Amino acid sequence: MQFQRPRRLCALVAICGLMLQACSTPGVLVTARDQFKYGSTEAAVQTLALAEVSSRDQLLLLMDTALVAQAAERYQESIIAFEEAFELVDELDFISVRDQSTALFVNDWAIRYSGELSERLWIHTFQMINYLMLDRADGAAVEARRAVTLFDKHGDVLDEDVLTRYLMALSFEAAGQFDSASVEYRKLNEQFGINLPTRRSKNTRELVVLVASGFIEPKLAGDLIVDINARISFPFYPETFQREPDIALFGNAQLLDTQLVHTRLLPIARSALAKRGKAVAARHVLRLVAKNQIADQLQDQDELIGAIARVLFLVLEQADTRSWETLPAWLSLVRAEVPAGIDSVDVQINSVDEFSVTDHSRTVVLKSKPGSLTVDMIRLGVSGPDQSIPSP
């Protein structure tokens, strides 16, 4: 017995050590996210292109790759990565029995990350932007229909995302699907009091500027001590201060009339996390029962090993804090009809977060064709140079 004990202890500690190593976001994603947040977009693109992660984190890699590629003006690469992410989400809806079993013994990090409901929606949000930037309205309309399906199924969580709803309507409108556009604009009017836009005349040019500012707060781990042998660790989004940006458009130095729509992503992400809270709690309870049973069995054979197992199981209980951290804190859309004779518009933005005040200005050249829609995007980062995304 004395000879067997050290070997058992070493095996138990080694197994738990390996499991704990898996309880963190892969270092390559952390590196790429830091590069992106501090202005090194191209470096982040290269880091993600060479990144290798386990199947547990494949969706995070795809979503980060797609969003950073968009910021680097690589719209087609972004489209491909977002489409792969969408297909993977569909596949991950059928979580394997092995994933569930491992999660019941280890923790939720063992499950392949399948995205919060909010993140699944934002795959389509940014994909619509990609297609609109490339003047491919039909592709944007396809993504809008995919988003409609999510709103229909999970409106209790997603309905407050007014910007995505507006982007859906705009995508349908740009594709000439006016009946579908009218449905979405009407919902915006009924739920948020947003005025219905008038249909563009053949002689009127319009400008839509999308602004992504700041970065969404990452999930943190919270702990609840049940007793000396039981701890529940749960993910949560912390509160933070990031004011919606002030955006103004000027043509020939004159302030233009605009329609302005904002969505703060954090409350929606928090609602999505809360919706699956019951499932997370149920796994916690089952996991506590399973771990206690294993510890009891080990303690019956060897009291010391059983006691050590309880401690290691307690340490192993780690909240799954994975999330799509390259998302902005705010998404804003400003829309204006541009009077005849104005060929460029000056955009002025003031953005405030916990750490800095950012003033940004740029000039957008309008498409010359009468009745056209010009779409432009600006990405404001937390620090480092502003990341601006011009129309092609």
> For the chain, which residues make up each domain, given as ranges?
4-389
Distances from the Cα of 11 to the Cαs of 5, 8, 109, 328, in angstroms? 10, 5, 21, 44
The CATH H-level superfamily of 4-389 is Tetratricopeptide repeat domain (1.25.40.10)
Local structure of residue 108 (DSSP, 8 states): G
* HSE toward the beta carbon, residue 30, CA cutoff 13 A: 6
Distances from the Cα of 185 to the Cαs of 89, 128, 181, in angstroms? 28, 16, 6
Strand arrangement of the beta sheet that strand 373-380 belongs to: 259-264, 330-338, 205-213, 373-380, 387-389
Local structure of residue 153 (DSSP, 8 states): H
Angle between helices 117-133 and 137-158 (to 10 degrees): 160
pLDDT of residue 381: 72
Token duo for residue 324 = 């799509």
Amino acid, single-letter form, for residue 273: L
* HSE toward the beta carbon, residue 148, CA cutoff 13 A: 16
The alpha-helical segments, DSSP class H, found in 214-366 are 265-275, 277-301, 303-316
**Contact call for residues 35 and 44 (beta carbons, < 8 A):** yes
For residue 112, list its beta bridge partners: none
Residue 170 and residue 166: Cα distance in Å, rounded? 6
Residue 216 and residue 264: Cα distance in Å, rounded? 9
Residue 264 and residue 217: Cα distance in Å, rounded? 11
Token duo for residue 374 = 């010009």
Q: Evaluate the CA torsion angle 80, 86, 91, 95 in order and state its sign.
A: positive
pLDDT lower than 70: segments of the chain = 1-25, 95-109, 200, 224-231, 280-296, 298-300, 302-316, 352-357, 382-392
Residue 29 and residue 327: Cα distance in Å, rounded? 14
- Coil, strand or helix: which one is 224? strand
pLDDT of residue 139: 97
Residue 374 and residue 364: Cα distance in Å, rounded? 9
Of 164, 175, 90, nearest to 132 (Cα)?
175
Token duo for residue 326 = 């390259």
**Contact call for residues 106 and 19 (beta carbons, < 8 A):** yes
* HSE toward the beta carbon, residue 102, CA cutoff 13 A: 15
**Contact call for residues 48 and 79 (beta carbons, < 8 A):** no
- Coil, strand or helix: which one is 248? strand
Residue 101 and residue 248: Cα distance in Å, rounded? 53
Q: Evaluate the CA torsion angle 252, 255, 260, 264 in order and state its sign.
A: positive
- CA end-to-end span of the chain: 73
**Contact call for residues 348 and 248 (beta carbons, < 8 A):** yes
